[in-house]
Amino acid sequence: MSGSDSPVDLEYRWSLVPLENILSICAMSVVMKCRNVHDTIRHFCNKSSGPSVCIVGGGPAGFYAAQQVLKTLPDTRVDILERLPVPFGLVRFGVAPDHPEVKNVINTFNKTAQNPRFQFLGNVNVGSDVTVEQLKENYHAVILTYGAEEDRVLGIPGENLNNVISGRRFVGWYNGVPADKNLQVNLDVEEAIVLGQGNVAMDIARILLTPIDKLKSTDITEYALEQLSRSKIKKVSLVGRRGPLQAAFTIAELRELIKLENCKTHWRPDDFSNVREIVEQLKRPKKRLMELMLKSLDESIQDKRSCSKNLHPIFLRSPIEMKGSDSVEEIKFSVNVLEGEISSAQIAKATGQFEEIPCGIALRSIGYRSVPIDNKVPFDMRKGHVLNTSGKVERYLYAAGWVATGPVGVILSTMTNAFQVGSMVCKEINRDIIKPGYEGLSEILKKKNITTVFYQDWEKINKVEEERGRKLGKPREKIVDINEMLEIASK
């Protein structure tokens, strides 16, 4: 059709076009207009004169803080920066693969991500790609929520022996953390010791003791599944420096562990001296936990089964030396006694006596600590978290989640903390100053040639992971290579 066609000529020529072709052309026109409208909305939001907030860290604390700010301030834009190309932090990389129900919180995060005033920017490393000072220059408020990525060490002789494994990295290994995919783990041993008695330590012990058929349908990485299927581990000792009353694991974690198929629990009756007598005085959560332990203790004494797997919870022992010629072969422990009034605050003191427990692998799970990402941000190196007062670091700079509180609590407590900090930001934000927000940040990233992964790009990665998982009969098979993630995201 030429520009000189008359209306009559055009009408005649259109009459020769099949109806389905006309409908197809109309549909494409509608789609393109819708896309243009969506892009216009996004562009308008980016140009909005309202405040802009930057959140550093795409885990639970980051998404909950974003949710609170978006809800409280209807004209505010929120950008989340995440070092990895994928979101959700510990929900993706920390939650045990056999606890899929805990990951349902991702549905809430997805809703937040659909808000036109929200933007996820993955593959952006704050501290090297952009500084915190630059973020403060471009945003009305900056919230640090990047978590705790380093594990605490014991500082004892032999800690560097082969097969002494960081519990944090072991979790990352079976959960698909890119940095942990090549972790050297030797499971061709019969005895394992897990140092620590928090929920992460319980997760590690459970993964080592769970029948492989129970793990096949989870999102555990295929390489970890293959190695666990050849594991020779028969005995796992779960060792803590204080007593049952001070144990940090929850009743749900304990119940799941002591009910594992073909696994027998071996308690030490002496560890419960004076505990039975005070159970009735305890507050309900601790009382229920002690009642479960004592019930399991009584049952274990009567249990004459011979099982292929055995769990040994051990209290009142502090590791003081790891021994072995090349790999760890045994751990020397100080025998402790508790001092102070009987409570969860009792202190463990060495008695001068010792016990040596053999093992072929030791997994250290004694807590996490945050690391400083920018030398301009005040940081407590001893405690391992950003210095703050109820979430406020300094003017227009805030912190929430584990980077602010230390690695305490569960996702619910992180949510509460992030909501509180988000509310504080909303109250203190200064609308009188003009900040460029994402436009200023994007210029910095362009100059450094940083490939940014947006939420719609993550959804491409997510789709591929789910497709690969379906072929293996599992929810997803996580991609652990960052270059592969970026390649998929760019398509």
Q: Which residues define the annotated binding site for NADP(+)?
A: 197-200, 241-242, 253, 409
410 phi, psi to nearest 5 deg: -115, -170
Distance CA 40, CA 385 (A): 41
Q: Which residues are annotated as a binding site for FAD?
A: 61, 82, 90, 126, 402, 409-411
Binding site: residue ranges? 61, 82, 90, 126, 197-200, 241-242, 253, 402, 409-411
> How many beta carbons lie within 10 A of that of residue 491, not counting itself?
7
With contact defined as beta carbons under 8 Å apart, do 421 and 67 qualify?
no
Between CA 212 and CA 229 the distance in angstroms is 6
Cα(62)–Cα(80) distance, integer angstroms? 7
Residues 6+ apart with CB under 8 A from 74: none
Element holding 93 (H helix, E strand): helix 89-93
**Cβ neighbours for 298, distance < 8 A, ≥ 6 positions apart:** none
> What is the number of alpha carbons within 13 Å of residue 240 lying toward its C-beta?
24
* Cα atoms in the Cβ-side hemisphere of radius 13 Å centred on 43: 6
- Rounded CA-CA distance 158/166 in Å is 14
Q: For 139-286, where are the E strands, in sequence order?
A: 141-144, 150-151, 164-166, 191-195, 235-239, 263-265
3-state class (DSSP) for residue 232: coil
136 neighbors 150 (Cβ within 8 angstroms) = no
**Using H for helix, E for strand and C for coil, what is the string for 352-366?**
EEEEEEECCEEEECC
HSE of 243 in the Cβ direction (CA atoms, 13 Å)? 25
